Amino acid sequence: MINIVWLLMIVSGIALASLQGKPEIITQSAFGSAQAAVKYSLELVGIMSFWLGMMRIAEEAGLVRALARGLKPLTKFLFPSIPAQHPAMGAILMNLSANILGLGNAATPFGLKAMQELQSINSDKETASAAMCTFLALNTACITLMPTMIIAIRLSAGSANPTEIVSTTLFATAVGMSVAILADNILRKVYGRRL
């Protein structure tokens, strides 16, 4: 699926730009975005290192395991294929907590750590495991308690009540998350049970 989507995005873009007689748009955006991608990755190094360092401390102190133990009934239902004591579970929970609390820059490092742990118990290293698909479904459609960035924008735009959208966001994300969990569950069975 990703092959087709990727191809269509580029081919349709080139076609439309050609119709408008502006081929230079394609050249500029291709080169520009390639450089932007590298810049983003390098900027990520600092924040990744910081949060992974903190997470290692939390791990060694037993905090991550305590979190995983507390939420075990929930995680057992969502991730039947991950062993209860596996470090992947702790990283997944840290990532979801960061997402829920709107700590955007902490979510990515924890999430990438979780992917590494999940990859270590994945039988086919080039194909997404069921647990990875579930994790990403939760991740891209996560309940949000504090949409920090948008509240800041509303505040600066002079809103009478910048936080009034917290409840609507909570509702929308709860619906989205339920659908994501349901769809993931159904598709997991359709695609066959594998680790």
195 sits near other proteins (criterion: CB under 8 A): no
Site for other proteins in 124-183 (CB under 8 A): 125-128, 132-133, 136-137, 139-142, 144, 146-151, 153-155, 157-169, 171-173, 175-177, 179-180, 183
Residue count, binding to other proteins (CB under 8 A): 106
Question: Out of 78, 87, 89, 184, which residue is the one contacting other proteins (CB under 8 A)?
Answer: 184
CA dihedral 120, 123, 124, 125 (to 10 degrees): 10
Angle of the 23-60 helix axis to the 63-70 helix axis, nearest 10? 100
Task: For Cα atoms 153, 54, 101, give the angle at the middle one, nearest 5 degrees.
Answer: 30
Query: What is the DSSP code (8-state) at residue 190?
Result: H
How far is it, in rounded angstroms, from Cα 14 to Cα 23? 7
φ, ψ of residue 158 to 5 degrees: the values are: 80, 35
Q: Which of 9, 74, 84, 195 touches other proteins by CB under 8 A?
A: 9
Residue in 45, 83, 84, 110 binding other proteins, rule: CB under 8 A = 45
What's the closest the beta carbon of residue 81 comes to other proteins, in angstroms? 14
Q: Which of 10, 74, 84, 195 touches other proteins by CB under 8 A?
A: 10
- Interacting positions 67-126 with other proteins (CB under 8 A): 99, 101-103, 108-109, 111-113, 115-116, 118-119, 125-126
Taking residue 195's Cβ as centre, other Cβ atoms within 10 Å add up to: 13
Whose Cβ is closer to other proteins: residue 89's or residue 137's? 137
Polymer length in residues for the chain: 195
Nearer Cβ to other proteins, position 21 or 73? 21
Q: Copy the structure tokens of residue 110.
A: 């924890």
Q: State residue 142 phi and psi, 5-degree precision.
A: -100, 145
32 near other proteins, judged by CB under 8 A? yes
